[in-house]
Amino acid sequence: MAAIQVVRSEWTKIRSVASTVWTLSLAVVVTIALGMLISALSKNEFDKMSRSDQLSFDPTFISFAGMSLGQLAMIVFGVLVVSNEYSTGMIRTSLAAVPQRATFLVSKIAVATGLSLVVGLATSFVAFFLGQAMLGSHKASIGDTGVLRAVIGGGLYMTLIAMFSMGVAAMLRSPMLSLGILMPFFFLVSNILGNVSATKKIGRYLPDQAGSKIMQVVTPVDDSTPYGPWGGLGIMTLWVVAALAGGYVLLKKRDA
């Protein structure tokens, strides 16, 4: 079994279902539009901000504000790519065609990750430039220290969120169960844990909290995070590796 055949097959699968188009388009539109909106609002609010808020003002990070919502569409994409196989019964046809389960899973995830990366990077660059356009005189430039890293990091962040969802979906198999856990977790639980002072120390090791550090250029004044941008992305990558490894072990072990 040449792996390249399976990759080609997975590409046909991913491009031939409607859910790929609508989840990814939604991620692009929501991330960019919300980023522009919040950038425009921030520009108007800047003069009313406190001194320390003005010092912590991070135009790059603000243009990525849409990701908090846009990432939910990436989660749906990641979940559906994997769990569609189970909810439709296609998995039995797929594994009969490719009985090497490692090849099957790696090819599927490689194709979906490649697509996420292209979409994620494009979204990140567009969100940055349009966001900066909204910020007017407070804008950052792509040549400023750390900005290019943050913009590329934004694309990587979206990709890793999708990959994490693929891993969770491979473990849980059911799309409803996977979404029912991931959506509230990233939209609510993680934010609550990260903002309540008692749980902040744990919250910042969650995948999204750690990973989003890569998109920060200006470190907030009172920040005590024990890792830097790449360290944060590293923590997120560990979560992704764990989720995918769990998905693989269960796929290998279970009856299809």
Partner 1 sequence: MIELEGLTKRYGEKVAVNNLTFTVRPGIVTGFLGPNGAGKSTTMRMLLGLDRPTAGDVRIDGKHYDQLKDPLTYIGALLDAKAMHGGRSAFNHLLCLAQSNGIPRKRVYQVLDTVGLTAVAKKKAKGFSLGMGQRLGIAGALLGDPRILMFDEPVNGLDPEGIHWIRNLMKSLAAQGRTVFVSSHLMSEMALTADHLVVIGQGRLLADTSMADFITQNSRSYVRIRTPQRERLLDVLHGAGVTVVETGNGSLEVDGSKSEHIGELAAQHQIVLHELSPQQASLEDAFMQLTAESVEYHAHSDTPAAPPPQPWGDGWKGN
The length of the chain in residues reads 256
Q: Does 197 bind partner 1 (CB under 8 A)?
A: no
Report in angstroms how near the CB of residue 252 gets to partner 1 at its nearest: 10
Does 174 participate in binding partner 1 (rule CB under 8 A)? Answer: no
- What tokens were used for 189? 């639980």
- When asked if residue 17 is in the footprint of partner 1 (CB under 8 A), the reply is yes
Q: Is 6 in the site for partner 1 (CB under 8 A)?
A: yes
- Asked whether position 50 contacts partner 1 by CB under 8 A, the answer is no
The answer to whether 214 and 156 have CB atoms below 8 angstroms apart is yes
Q: CA separation (Å) from 82 to 164, 187, 250?
A: 11, 21, 13
Angle subtended at Cα 88 by Cα 87 and Cα 89, rounded to the nearest 5 degrees: 100
Q: How far is the CB of 146 from partner 1 (least distance, A)?
A: 42
How many residues bind partner 1 (CB under 8 A)? The answer is: 30
Interacting residues of 188 by C-beta distance below 8 A, sequence separation 6+: none
- Asked if 170 is part of the footprint of partner 1 (rule: CB under 8 A), the reply reads no
What CA–CA distances, in Å, run from 242 to 111, 123, 129, 152, 171? 19, 26, 34, 23, 11
Question: Is residue 13 involved in binding partner 1 (CB under 8 A)?
Answer: yes
Per CB under 8 A, which region of 3-11, 156-164, 194-202, 216-224 contacts partner 1?
3-11
> What angle separates helix 101-135 from helix 18-45, to the nearest 10 degrees?
30
* Choice between 96 and 198, CB closer to partner 1: 96
Site residues for partner 1, window 66-105 (CB under 8 A)?
A: 84-85, 88-100
Question: By the criterion CB under 8 A, which residues form the site for partner 1?
Answer: 1-2, 5-6, 8-10, 12-13, 16-19, 84-85, 88-100, 255-256
